[in-house]
Structure 1
Amino acid sequence: MSASVVPAEPEAEEKPRKRAPWGVIALVLLTGLALIRNGSGEFDSGPPQPETAAAAQGSASPRPSASPTGSAPASLPFSEADRVRIPMIQVDAPVTPVGLDSDGWVAAPPPDDPNLAGWFTGSVSPGEKGTAVVVGHVDNNRGPAVFYGLGALKKGNHVEVRRKDGRTAVFEVYGIEVFDKKNFPGDRVYGSTGAPELRVITCGGGFTKQNGYSGNVVVFARLTGVR
């Protein structure tokens, strides 16, 4: 892919920054991740892939999970992501803001640091109403990277994102899939459900030296707690 994307003027938001429209975000995020090499893909037998039983439901707009008291947690105000923890796969990594590079593609976290994730600043911050997006490499030229084990997650696992305001947004996984990059369902992955949600994305699927990874592993999660 070599076509450039010219972002349209973002809609006004009551937030301390501007955001690009989701249609543009979805396209550049998909393209940017498709262009990330993310290592050699030749370590051991490759990263784990999502199980069919853990795949996200077909609905593009699932309802937010309810808390034990019967109501979903209230959305949080804006605050940048600081750290991501996924206990099930032993992820505990700092988060750096990532945006678009000079060519209009998403700038992934620096590949030289294997334990670094990126929060896409064109999305909401984790815990805000809407869909926050965290990306990271699956591997690099030296071995597995931060989201190498992402495909091993299952429904009910948790992703914790500590924010710079000191609060931690806790998300529960309700689906995980691997999508071919040529047929990536941008609206389904990035679209808002009307509740605070999170997508965690890395490369996955088949691998060739010529084209790299053929797909993206996407974790679907919704806010279930704040501490």
Structure 2
Amino acid sequence: MNNHRRRLRAGHSAGLALVLSAALVATGCATSAAERPESQAATVSASGESQEPSASSPSPEAPGSPEATPSVPSPGSIPVQPADQGQQEPTPEPAQLLYPGIDADIPVEPRGVAEDGQMDIPDDAAQAAWYEYGKAPADQVGTTVISAHAGSQETPVGPLYALKDSRPGEEVTVLDEAGVAHHYEVTQVEQLGKDGLDFAPYFERTGKHRLVLITCGGQWIDERGSYADNIIVVAEPLD
């Protein structure tokens, strides 16, 4: 992969500190009208207990930003601020996601934020996006976020369509561009309504390292041309 696409990581180095809007990812998944699964349980923790998602929606803290935003930016308006350039070694980018538990094998490419304020995700559901302003598996801190559409015109049923069927304890592997395999264990499976969903906790650049997978699911909304919910899977390193 072109070294120009690699990021130098020193805080926000060689990237942009992006303030996440409530719309980031929240409306970024659509699929064919023929694929409309029933709603799944709200949250499945590692203990197997079902939990209801919180109805509150606090203002999100910007991923990697030391301060919380004063208010939730409207869709399509994501403030940016310059980042300091660093001299750190580039960290290999994720290249492939393997999730045998849902029979998913999907290539991954780096993406940022689209013009409409949502996470930029490939149109084809057969391709996943890694949030390039976040962390990569080899960083060993913060969150690696990978997202893909549940389905698309090219691929009506994408590899992550079955993400809703994930179960705690299953293994997920991310191969990076250097050929190194990073192994994770699923610890939490959530189905959360897109409206008012705070994504900031899933895009943290500090703290314990983890992998977050995101796609869409739940009830199909014809007028939106999308699902009502996001399916979010959290996994922790096995290495």
Q: Which letter maps to 1:35?
A: T
Q: What residue in structure 1 maps to residue 17 of structure 2?
A: 20
Q: Does 1:78 align with 2:91?
A: yes
Give distance in 2, aligned partners of 1:50 and 1:209.
Answer: 22
* Gap regions ≥5 residues in structure 1: 1-11, 59-76
Q: Residue 122 and residue 57 in structure 1: after superposition, are their counterparts in 2 closer, same or farther (change >3 A)?
A: farther
Write the deviation string for residues 49-90 of structure 1: whole angstroms up to 9, x where unpaired: 3575446899xxxxxxxxxxxxxxxxxx72101100001111
Q: Residue 178 and residue 53 in structure 1: after superposition, are their counterparts in 2 closer, same or farther (change >3 A)?
A: closer
Indicate the SS of the match to 1:183: coil
Indicate the SS of the match to 1:34: coil
What is the CA distance between 1:40 and its match in structure 2? 2.4
Q: What residue in structure 2 maps to residue 153 of structure 1?
A: 166
Give distance in 2, aligned partners of 1:50 and 1:109.
Answer: 27
Q: 2:196 aligns with which of 163, 172, 183?
A: 183
Q: Does 1:123 align with 2:134?
A: yes
* % same residue: 25
Give distance in 1, aligned partners of 2:105 and 2:38.
Answer: 18
Indicate the SS of the match to 2:23: helix
Q: Does 1:143 align with 2:135?
A: no
Q: Which letter maps to 1:46?
A: P
Q: Does 1:31 align with 2:28?
A: no
**Contact persistence 1:56–1:220 (CA under 8 A):** no
Q: Which letter maps to 1:115?
A: A
Q: What residue in structure 2 maps to residue 221 of structure 1?
A: 235
**Contact persistence 2:145–2:202 (CA under 8 A):** no
Q: Residue 47 and residue 158 in structure 1: after superposition, are their counterparts in 2 closer, same or farther (change >3 A)?
A: farther
Give the number of aligned pairs.
189
**Contact persistence 1:41–1:139 (CA under 8 A):** no
Q: Does 1:100 align with 2:113?
A: yes
Q: What residue in structure 2 maps to residue 40 of structure 1?
A: 32
Q: Does 1:134 align with 2:164?
A: no
Indicate the SS of the match to 1:139: coil
Q: Residue 193 and residue 102 in structure 1: after superposition, are their counterparts in 2 closer, same or farther (change >3 A)?
A: closer
Q: Which letter maps to 2:27?
A: L
Give distance in 1, aligned partners of 2:27 and 2:193.
Answer: 13
CA RMSD of aligned residues (A): 2.8
Give distance in 2, aligned partners of 1:221 and 1:102.
Answer: 29
Q: What residue in structure 1 maps to residue 3 of structure 2?
A: none
Give distance in 2, aligned partners of 1:151 and 1:188.
Answer: 20
Indicate the SS of the match to 2:137: coil
Q: Which letter maps to 2:132?
A: T
Q: Residue 188 and residue 106 in structure 1: after superposition, are their counterparts in 2 closer, same or farther (change >3 A)?
A: closer
